[in-house]
Structure 1
Amino acid sequence: MGKELQELLPEYNAYLEKTIEDALKKVPPFIAKWIADLGLPGALDLTYEITRFYTPPWFDEELRGLAAGAGVAYEVVRRMNLIPELIKASCTVLGAWGESSVASTLLHLRALDWDDKAPIAKYATVTVYHPNASYEGYTENFHKYYRQENYTSHAFANFGYLGLIGSLSAYSEASIGLGEKVWITKEQDITTRFGNPWTYVLRDVVQFADSIDTALTMLVNAHRTCSIHLGLGSYERNASVHSDETVGFRGIEYSAKEFNVFNWEDMYNTKNHPILKDVVYWDKHVQPSNNPCLGSLLVDHYGRINAPTIIRNITSLSETGDALNLILDYGENAAYLAYSAPDDPQGPLEAFNRVHTRLDMAKLFAEPAPK
């Protein structure tokens, strides 16, 4: 991994410098000014300085260990991990269960619409963590950041890219899953830079939560920063009968000053975004979206939704998930995923058009923890 990270960091930094003008059009004005005044490295360093007081120490410790082990500069890998705090992606969020799906258990789509041609796409990774629950950083600091005395640490998987330790998409052995899409609002005062970067919050929630309620409590208590939408899934694997109490999915509007939670009954209801029983969804467009594509596809396939249907008939037709297309099947305890492939001259570029790989998450979580 060290060799690959040594190759990725300079290549990705050079790519960002070349494409920064396009990126400036997609960020809030004050972030664009930071980047214009300080350069991208300076803006990322400023982000670190104002977020580090709100960030649990285990992230910085891991970054320092990663940099030392790979033989790269700590500051460079730290900057890369804060890029999602400045530049967020479009993406699609979908949770489907009960009457909408074939097996009635939960299906969770996290379709990442980011930059499918970026050099980082060549370094796609699924990283499975087996955390040391006795690590003193948890016992000494967990309450400080999430205002809870008790916690249970779980093995979890990050679906992302080499060197990124926060969670763009994640799933745990406790069957808690999270994924994000940008939430574009006109009310700029609902965000702040003074908090814990959202990718770090998502990772902690997936690692430490064991239910919808504990996940929501952590999200509410976190020092939130950006405005993003979240898809939060939960599945009680040992329940004898699966119902709304054992299979859960919530859509969340997450920001520093607002936190709104939606079940399927609470979603806005329009001609192009109809309310569907046991379905929570936001398409890749600015919300509330008037684009008819995703809503019509969900209506067409209602009652027959499973992972193959999502891959063949929903994400490919709505053209969402160009960088990463991830479907978590909570009933199977499996992940179906594809990444974009800018270096593949034979196959399609976009993840949603590529062959997907099925991962047995139970087997991955059962692997012995490294010593």
Structure 2
Amino acid sequence: MCGNDTSHGDPNLNPIDDSPPKLIRTVENGSLYTVGSGEDQFWLVHVWGNTGYDYGFAYGTLLKEQIIQLQPIAWAHFEQQIMDELDKLKLPKWFEEIVASKGLAFALDFQNTLVEGYIDKEIYEEIRGIADAANIDYRAIRRLHMLGEITRGRCSLYGLWGNSTLGGKTLQLRALDWDTKGGLQDFPVVTIYHPRSPKLGHAFANVAWAGYIGTLTGMSSTQMGISEIGIYFSDDTFGDESMSGLPFIFVERYILQFSETLDDALSFIADVRRTCHLVLAVGDGKLGTARMIQYSHSRVNFFDDQNLQPVADWHPRIPNAVYCGMDWLCPSHQYRLYQQIIYQYGQITPESSIRNITSVAKTGDLHVGVYDLTDSILYVANARGTNETGPLEAYQRQFVKIDLNIEFARKQSSMK
């Protein structure tokens, strides 16, 4: 089982920043804004397109400087970390041997050959557009998008609806507990995608970092949200893992980009060729509910508040709620998240969740997204960047409120 930290964190009493985005500049098919203020400001990018390449070229043009700075820092850090901790990552022995003998770059390029048949070609075109616009190596960007299958992260999530929330709103949490030493939080980006072709689905918001187009955190214009936890401490209810399939960051992105309803998302998860051990959550503000999914290459199980797993005294079921704290077999974190949900059960709002759930449960060190799926409002906080002050963990920092009704409807400005 995972660690036994039973301590509670302090409430997050920072005011939520609800100031409007500030336009910086525009290019063909793209607009760059900043949102938030002071040290907790981040980039808000809008891209429009008929193709993935349109998206990528606009994105890469607007964020060229940030991408060029982040890529070598992030790569050097994760390469060193993975090489140092290779025996702890629970990878197939044959893949470990490739990493050890040929290096991480070679291994990730090989991994790409195993998954490329499952990835939408428009994703590769988007990466190519970024590489061309920013004048950096296409393969280098692609490699960073393969890292999630190896590192995964330990995270937390919930889906709340009906009697569990104030006014019966549908709320969702995505707390990303990943590496805060790789420089990612120096370049936080929320990207709003505006398709001009049906093949690109519908509008959605992706919370990530400069140059990263996979989805770990985000909401869609169809009032849906996605959350994920990488599972290291599993049990025999999980199935096998595989290095061949659709990487989970693109499973999550597909759901935001193409699913109209919760049923669409669950059907896609059931049918897609899955890879590693995960727990996912999908919320639907239209239906007013959420589901948690136990996920592996060979097995998938769907949970609501009536059949939520794992069954344990440290993971009690809660009416109108699904939740998972940090890992599958993780008693202290699971129970701490349970306590904070129960503490304000029936009165939970995004603001109270920010104040008393993630901060007290101590989850979401790299970034936190709280989704109001009923009203299409996104709340985001990022970890302390280099040379910034205050708490390191995102859950203790200022959150920024983004009204996605406005952002999804935004038209491109003519400013250059």
Change over 3 Å in CA distance of 1:102–1:186 after alignment to 2:
closer
Question: Structure 1 residue 28: deviation in Å?
Answer: 1.3
Corresponding residue SS for 1:103 = helix
1:249 aligns with: 290
- Within the candidate set 109, 115, 118, 1:45 is matched to 109
- Within the candidate set 232, 240, 257, 1:190 is matched to 240
Distance 1:100 1:23 in 2: 41
Counterparts of residues 305-316 of structure 1 (less than 5 Å) = 305-316=348-359
Corresponding residue SS for 2:167 = coil
Distance 1:304 1:247 in 2: 16
Distance 2:265 2:151 in 1: 25
Change over 3 Å in CA distance of 1:370–1:73 after alignment to 2:
farther
Query: 1:85 is matched by which residue type in structure 2?
Result: E
1:118 aligns with: 182
Equivalent pair of 1:81/1:163 in contact (CA under 8 Å): no
- Within the candidate set 77, 85, 88, 1:15 is matched to 77
- Within the candidate set 227, 247, 252, 2:277 is matched to 227
Distance 2:146 2:85 in 1: 15
1:146 aligns with: none
Counterparts of residues 1-371 of structure 1 (less than 5 Å) = 1-30=63-92, 31-135=95-199, 153-184=201-232, 185=234, 190-236=240-286, 246-268=287-309, 269-287=311-329, 289=331, 291=333, 292-368=335-411
Report the aligned-residue RMSD.
1.9
Question: Structure 1 residue 331: deviation in Å?
Answer: 2.2
Question: Structure 1 residue 263: deviation in Å?
Answer: 0.2
Cα distance per residue 1:205-260 (max 9 Å; x no partner)? 11111111111111122121122110100021xxxxxxxxx212000012221110
Distance 2:332 2:267 in 1: 32
2:7 aligns with: none
Distance 1:10 1:178 in 2: 29
Equivalent pair of 1:325/1:337 in contact (CA under 8 Å): yes
Q: Percent of aligned positions with the same letter in both sequences?
A: 30
1:240 aligns with: none
Corresponding residue SS for 1:260 = strand
Question: Structure 1 residue 36: deviation in Å?
Answer: 1.6
Q: Which runs of 5+ in 1 are unaligned?
A: 139-152, 237-245
Query: 2:291 is matched by which residue type in structure 1?
Result: R
Distance 2:244 2:179 in 1: 27
Equivalent pair of 2:239/2:299 in contact (CA under 8 Å): no
Equivalent pair of 2:239/2:296 in contact (CA under 8 Å): no
Q: TM-score, normalised by structure 2?
A: 0.79
Change over 3 Å in CA distance of 1:325–1:22 after alignment to 2:
farther
Equivalent pair of 1:117/1:342 in contact (CA under 8 Å): no
